[in-house]
Amino acid sequence: MASDPASVSSNGQDIVCQGDWTALQLDRAARDLRYLRPLPGDVEIDLSGVSRIDSTGAWLIYRAAHKWSKLGAKTRYIGLDDKTRELFELIAGQGIEPGDAPHPPAPGFLENLGRDSAEAARNYMAFLGFIGNATFSSLRILLTPARLRWSQVVVESEEAGFDALPIVGMLAFLMGIVIAYQGAVVLQQYGAGIFIADLVGLAMLRELSPLVTAIIVAGRTGSAYTAQIGTMKVTEEVDALRTMGIAPIELLVLPKIFALVIAMPLLTVFADLMGLLGGMIMANNLLDVSFQNFIDRLASEVTIADYLVGIGKAPVFALIIAAVGCYQGFKVSGSAESVGKHTTISVVESIFLVIVVDAIFSIVFSRMGI
Amino acid sequence: MAQPVVRMRDIVTRFGDKVVHDGISLDVERGEVLAVVGGSGSGKSTLMREMIMLLSPTAGKVEVLGHDVAGISELEALPLRRRIGVMFQHGALFGGQTVLENVGVPLREHTELHDDIVDELAQVKLTLAGLEPRTGALWPNQLSGGMRKRAALARALALDPELLFLDEPSSGLDPLSADALDELILQLRELLGLTVVMITHDMDSLWRAADRVVLLGEGRILGTGSMEELARSNDPDVKRFFSGPRARGAQTGGG
């Protein structure tokens, strides 16, 4: 029962509608209707040639007739059967005025600025509150360690730590190669090839290993924390926990924080090793520094303090990543879109904070002469 | 008689070892309101997912609007999907769009109608579904459960589909709203020639709105017929389902 798409024509005054006036066949008729302007006076809208009509088609004709009657035309439908008449009555009965659609208010620049500032301030207070809450819960749980969900800590640290070994190792290895490469060019000019061990050792152990590890963990694990807690919030699982008298922070947050604080220093040690390995291989290739010489030099020039400075940063970074990740998860509200938004914020914010804190560490350590 | 809108033959559905459907044959006739009932886990929703081309049965033949949908490509399915409206159990409104935009999505996607017209039509559908036009400016997470359902119905009606699928339309609605929804479905069927397939547990809806009821259980169809026929049935399975105190209450109250 294929029929022609909807069409509309006019003899200058009366309107004739023909064809299939259902939603998918209306494009041309809708365009034509916009440009029809009957003169004031009687206008007959002839629907006898309409083969099918649905509420979309009926609305198009109704809104056009509505517009014309505002311009002084007296519109009258002819040639419609009872069902179509009822359809028109149903649609007219909904009381919708053509041309005013309810949209959410669009605030101006100043209002947005004000709202965003207030929101940011509230946000930082809430984050502080969350940290306080988590700290308090941690202290309480440390008094009764049996209450901590240790099995979950183990699972979480496997996921955040052990499973991340390949990617962290790979990246640290490549970082070692890159540094050695960059250093080799300059050192070679001065015939000071052996200093490559100092360069790679200090750069990797003090700075790059913890940083690379933190960035990977933020992207891999912090985001997962946000998405998991966020989805649980959307599906009301967090509320369900609360009603059962289980503090979400104890079940969802503390095991993650403990797991990450344990896993990240270990990952950093692994990154140290892989970074040094990368540097060592490049030193051997480019500068003919043998593995033995490299290691000897490393042992004499890079101190245990340098190593501990790097490892010591890892738990701090872990705290930042876990806290930001979990906090953003709890901020999720309502929809899937919100989960995505807060996951992004979580990753960006935790990497940002990690780098800021790293900079502060550098200043403090240099003042202290470590 | 015109050919059925949906035709299912010997449908078998298995998830791993679990047999959900074990040889179900079912026709949905044009213009009828067909209700699918059955206990939890009886495969009602799965059957619906097979009718709306979200899932392929393990074996058997499904024809929708005269087309065999076995192995149909997305491109071939598109013209069919445009003629089908689906209201999901929890609404499935898009969280990033206002209610009005949600209802307008199918129109914007499949027609070239002007934005003003789409917005107006979306409002018409919202009021048809029993919501205030200004609800359109709200976000889905600002709606109550019942309002979300109505908004989802409005979206399912956006293209005036020939075939409307409703998953638990009245669950979560207060009795008055549920009655109004039944009325609305019947009215739309009358005016637009809708065919409606609904999954429901609501005995009142069954009595009031359904022309024919299909009872699923144990992977097959335990009984089919109008509510009066099923209520009189002597089949033990059918009796057990429709003779609980709730079912009887609905009969005396609604029928």
Domain ranges for chain B: 6-83+162-254, 92-160
Any A CB within 8 A of B121 CB? yes
pLDDT digits (tens, 9 = 90+) for A242-292: 888 888 888 899 999 999 999 999 999 999 999 999 999 999 988 888 899
| Nearest Cα residue to B36 out of B196, B229, B155, B162 | B196
**Hey, what are B128's tokens?**
């048809």
- Which of A59, A103, A105 is opposite residue B124, by nearest beta carbon? A59
Q: Which residue has the tokens 């359809």?
A: A87
Share of chain A above pLDDT 70, in %: 99
What is the least distance, in Å, from the CA of B166 to any CA of chain A?
19
Neighbouring CB atoms inside 10 A of A332's CB total 25
Cβ separation of B139 and A336 shorter than 8 Å?
no
Residue A207's region, left for phi above 0, alpha for psi from -120 to 50, else beta, is alpha
Residue B172 has pLDDT above 90, yes or no: no
What is the least distance, in Å, from the CA of A29 to any CA of chain B?
10
Residues of B in contact with A82 (CB under 8 A): none
Cβ separation of B137 and A26 shorter than 8 Å?
no
Mutate to test the interface with B, among A91, A335, A339 (most CBs of B within 10 A): A335
Mention every residue, 6+ apart, whose C-beta is less than 8 A from residue A19: A3, A4, A5, A6, A7, A25, A29, A49, A50, A51
pLDDT at residue A327, rounded to an integer = 95
Residue B79 has pLDDT above 70, yes or no: yes
Residue A118 has pLDDT above 90, yes or no: yes
Distance CA B195, CA B172 (A): 23
What is the least distance, in Å, from the CA of A101 to any CA of chain B?
6
Read off the pLDDT band of B193 (50, 70, 90).
confident
Asked whether the beta carbons of B162 and B194 are under 8 A apart, the reply is yes
Q: Which CATH class is domain A7-92?
A: alpha beta
Cβ separation of B133 and A30 shorter than 8 Å?
no
The residue count of chain A comes to 370
Average pLDDT over chain B, rounded to whole?
83
For B192, nearest residue in chain A (alpha carbons): A54
- Which of A83, A98, A334 is opposite residue B95, by nearest beta carbon? A334
Cβ separation of A23 and B122 shorter than 8 Å?
no
pLDDT at residue B42, rounded to an integer = 83
CATH of B6-83+162-254, one of 3.40.50.20, 3.40.50.620, 3.40.50.300, 3.40.50.880: 3.40.50.300
For A335, nearest residue in chain B (alpha carbons): B95
Cβ separation of A96 and B123 shorter than 8 Å?
yes
> Taking the domains of chain A in order of start, what are their residue ranges?
7-92, 129-368
pLDDT at residue B115, rounded to an integer = 85
Asked whether the beta carbons of B152 and B88 are under 8 A apart, the reply is yes
Specify the DSSP element, H or E, that contains A89: helix A82-92
pLDDT at residue B255, rounded to an integer = 41
Give the C-alpha distances (Å, rounded to integers) separating A24 from A28, A101, B111, B120.
10, 22, 6, 17
Mention every residue, 6+ apart, whose C-beta is less than 8 A from residue A52: A3, A20, A21, A22
Cβ separation of B137 and A103 shorter than 8 Å?
yes
For A235, nearest residue in chain B (alpha carbons): B90
Residues of A in contact with B110 (CB under 8 A): 23-24
Q: Across residues A20-34, what is the average pLDDT?
A: 83
Residue B135 has pLDDT above 50, yes or no: yes
What is the least distance, in Å, from the CA of B129 to any CA of chain A?
10
b/e code B87-100 from CB counts within 10 Å (16+ = b): bbbebbbbbebbbb
